């Protein structure tokens, strides 16, 4: 790792976005447009190369950018390609001296065999897996600050890990964990698919990947990596008929004798508030949050409680999958890498109604 000096406040950092034509890439462009310390100077999108960005996304007309086949001459690049396609591009960018934040899944898992198992192919550059920093700032801030490659977490993973981490890091989990997540359709990406066709998803909710979702190994790695005895996790994602948002509900029993009885709920909330004390984007709330409470913002809202009838702890964790679950978190990581306040360019409050 090479120590990175804080950005020269008089000179804006040149930013590139690989695959600006996807939902995450477009959201990066929207959020970075008003960032005071960076300038988007190069964007790529292979199927739209040569077009003005406004032709693809009229709402981004103010950027006045032309889409190229590749990005060049930038200080830091966001790579928003799909998994498998991202890995070689990231490797080339690093070889050219460009720092990279990868939004795909290609550098999130530390174990090459786990990557092969979940993504169906050998990793093209396994040495970079050990170097890449998992980009969840609330857990890895110090490592992100000096990294040249940050692997942005998955959207489901972000909501689940932030929801469970305070208890997992205290060693208070011993029983099986159930994670029930519901996501808007934008999480499936912009590529056309029958499964995300309007007539297929409208007025309908469905569970999928019941045999195991690819974000599960991220969750296990970040919560229990290095722990010999791990509580089993059942993770079931659902697709719901809305554009943005993830609502994750987590159920489990704590270790015997902790967080129980009349004072259990207040102790639980105090534990969460202490764990996330000083965090700008994680908020412990007093009522179960709605997905709309995070719409367009880089926040994660967490509501912890206890069902005293069963002894189960219930955690509700809500994010916007395209912001804290993708582009916003990537910019939060960028700010840390550049020595800037984490909130820079991310002060937007949620859209309502």
What CATH number is associated with residue 53? 3.40.50.720
| pLDDT mean over 318-340 | 98
Cα–Cα distance for residue pair 164/315, rounded to 1 Å = 8
* Mean pLDDT, the chain, integer: 94
Give a yes or no: residue 198 inside a domain.
yes
Give how many domains the chain has, as a whole number: 2
Same domain for 179 and 260, yes or no, is: yes
Let me know if residue 307 belongs to a domain: yes
Question: Is the same domain home to 256 and 304?
Answer: yes
* Those residues with Cβ within 8 angstroms of residue 197's Cβ, 6 or more apart along the chain or in another chain: none
What is the per-residue pLDDT for 1? 44
For residue 10, what pLDDT band results from cuts at 50, 70 and 90? Answer: low
164 and 296 fall within a common domain: yes
The answer to whether residues 137 and 186 belong to one domain is no
Q: How much is the pLDDT for 9? A: 52
CATH number for the domain that contains residue 285? 3.30.360.10
Residues 178 and 139 in one domain: no
The pLDDT value given to residue 296: 97
Residue 35 belongs to domain spanning: 13-153+325-337
DSSP per-residue letters across 85-135:
THHHHHHHHHHTT-EEEE-SSTTT-S-HHHHHHHHSS--S-THHHHHPEE-
Nearest to 29, CA basis, from 103, 97, 96: 103
- Write down the pTM of the prediction: 0.94
The answer to whether residues 141 and 177 belong to one domain is: no
How far is Cα 211 from Cα 108, in angstroms, rounded to an integer? 20
Q: Verify that 315 and 332 share a domain, yes or no.
A: no
Place of tokens 């990294």: 147
pLDDT in tens, 82-117: 999 999 999 999 999 999 999 999 999 999 999 999
pLDDT score recorded for residue 232: 93
Q: What is the pLDDT of residues 108-142, one digit of tens each?
A: 999 999 999 999 999 999 999 999 999 999 999 99
What is the rounded distance in angstroms from the CA atom of residue 83 to the CA atom of residue 66?
Answer: 25
**Residue 322: predicted pLDDT:** 98
In a domain, 253, yes or no: yes
Strand order in the sheet with 67-68: 67-68, 38-44, 13-18, 76-79, 99-102, 149-151, 133-134
Q: Is residue 353 part of a domain?
A: no
Q: Active-site residue numbers?
A: 155
For residues 146 and 197, membership in a common domain is answered with no
23-50 residue pLDDT tens: 999 999 999 999 999 999 999 998 899 9
Q: Same domain, yes or no, for 211 and 331?
A: no
The reply to whether 7 falls in a domain is no
């Amino acid at each position: 790792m090479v120590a990175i000096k804080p950005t020269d406040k008089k000179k804006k950092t040149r930013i590139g976005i690989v695959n600006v034509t996807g939902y995450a890439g477009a959201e990066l462009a929207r959020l970075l447009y008003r960032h005071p310390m960076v300038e988007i100077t190069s964007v790529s999108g292979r199927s739209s190369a040569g077009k003005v960005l406004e032709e693809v996304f009229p709402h981004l007309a103010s950027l006045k950018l032309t889409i190229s086949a590749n990005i060049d001459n930038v200080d830091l690049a966001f790579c928003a390609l799909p998994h498998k396609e991202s890995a070689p591009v990231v490797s080339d960018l690093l070889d050219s001296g460009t720092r990279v934040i990868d939004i795909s899944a290609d550098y999130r898992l530390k174990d090459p065999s786990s990557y092969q198992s979940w993504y169906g192919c050998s990793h093209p550059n396994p040495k970079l897996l050990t170097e890449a920093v998992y980009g969840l700032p609330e857990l890895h801030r110090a490592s992100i600050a000096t990294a040249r490659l940050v692997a942005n977490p998955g959207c489901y993973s972000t909501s689940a890990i932030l929801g469970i981490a305070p208890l997992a890091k205290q060693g208070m989990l011993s029983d099986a964990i159930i994670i029930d997540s519901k996501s808007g359709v934008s999480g499936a990406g912009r590529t056309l698919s029958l499964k995300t066709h309007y007539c297929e998803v409208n007025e309908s909710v469905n569970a999928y990947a019941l045999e195991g979702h690819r974000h599960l190994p991220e969750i296990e790695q970040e919560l229990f990596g290095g722990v010999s005895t791990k509580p089993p996790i059942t993770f079931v994602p659902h697709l719901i008929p809305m554009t943005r948002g993830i609502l994750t509900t987590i159920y489990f029993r704590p270790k015997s004798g902790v967080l129980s009885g009349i004072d259990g709920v207040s102790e639980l909330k105090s534990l969460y508030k202490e764990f996330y004390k000083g965090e700008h984007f994680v908020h412990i709330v007093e009522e179960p949050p709605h997905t709309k409470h995070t719409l367009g913002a880089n926040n994660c809202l967490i509501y912890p409680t206890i069902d005293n009838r069963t002894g189960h702890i219930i955690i509700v964790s809500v994010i916007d999958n395209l912001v804290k679950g993708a582009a916003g978190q990537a910019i939060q990581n960028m700010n840390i890498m550049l020595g800037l306040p984490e909130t820079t360019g991310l002060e937007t409050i949620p859209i309502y109604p």
